[in-house]
Amino acid sequence: MADVGAEGGRSPLRVAVLASGEGTNLQALLDGVHGAEAEVVAVGADNPQAPALERARRAGIGTAVFPKDAYPDRTARDAAISAWLQEQRVQLVVLAGYMALLSADFTRTWSGRLINVHPSLLPAFPGIRAIQQALDYGVRVFGVTVHLVDAGVDTGQILAQCAVDLPSARHESEVHAVLQPLEHALLCDTVRRYARGQVRSDPEHPRRMLVD
């Protein structure tokens, strides 16, 4: 959560974003929460060519690249990422289209401070190609989930969800076009609530998170 300042107000939540590609969720955070309740202080990528890095640079945000072939294994790379995040005094890590799997050590270190946005109504259709999975199954309702990240594949506690009825959808691209703005809005809203201290565990249900 954000620190409480000397006069009782909260200082901005220090957020880092990990991305692999275009960085549209990063841009949503830059446009929607950066400089208000939260401040994006670092952007990391596994892909040196990720457009997300250029988005960060244009915003004056420090970046770092952690290519797979620069480390002996995933654990070593994740340890380097974790050390870098700690150097930046990061309080919340957002996975914004970050396509690399994370080690159990990393998710344990950042437990409760690591969130992801996923294009399905979890626990349905976890993992890659979630929209295509849903289309193949024949669902009529699609959605987006923001969740805490644990050592499983999209198995962390759910923070927020949004559903949309698309009974005539046939193609992944058309569903993605509808879901993407919902992803952006839900992610920004969740980060704002996290910064305000409105995210907490439900004492009556170990899997449920309460978002005030």
Distance CA 95, CA 117 (A): 7
What are the CB-based long-range contacts (under 8 Å, 24+) for 111-114? 111/148, 111/150, 112/148, 114/148, 114/149
- Is residue 176 annotated as part of the catalytic site, yes or no? no
Reported confidence tier of residue 6, pLDDT bands at 50, 70, 90:
very low
pTM: 0.92
**Active site residue: 34, 118, 147, 184, which one?**
118
Share of residues in the chain with pLDDT > 70 (%)? 96
- Count of other CB atoms within 10 angstroms of residue 79: 16
Looking at residue 9, its pLDDT comes to 58
Specify the 3-state DSSP secondary structure of 210.
strand
- What is the DSSP track for 114-178? EEEEESS-TTSS-SSSHHHHHHHHT-SEEEEEEEE--SSSS-SPEEEEEEEE-TT---HHHHHHH
Q: Residue 115's CB: how many other CB atoms inside 10 A?
A: 25
Structural domains of the chain ordered from first start: 13-197 (3.40.50.170)
What's the pLDDT tens digit per position in 67-77?
Answer: 999 999 999 99
Q: Is the pLDDT of residue 184 over 70?
A: yes
Q: What pLDDT is stored for residue 35 in this prediction?
A: 87
What percent of the chain has pLDDT above 90?
A: 86
- The rounded mean pLDDT for the chain is 93
Least Cα distance to 114 among 177, 73, 159, 58 occurs for 159
The answer to whether the beta carbons of residues 140 and 128 sit under 8 Å apart is no
Please give the Cα distance from 143 to 175 (Å, whole number): 9
147: confidence class by pLDDT, cuts 50, 70, 90: very high
Confidence of residue 8 (pLDDT cuts 50, 70, 90): very low
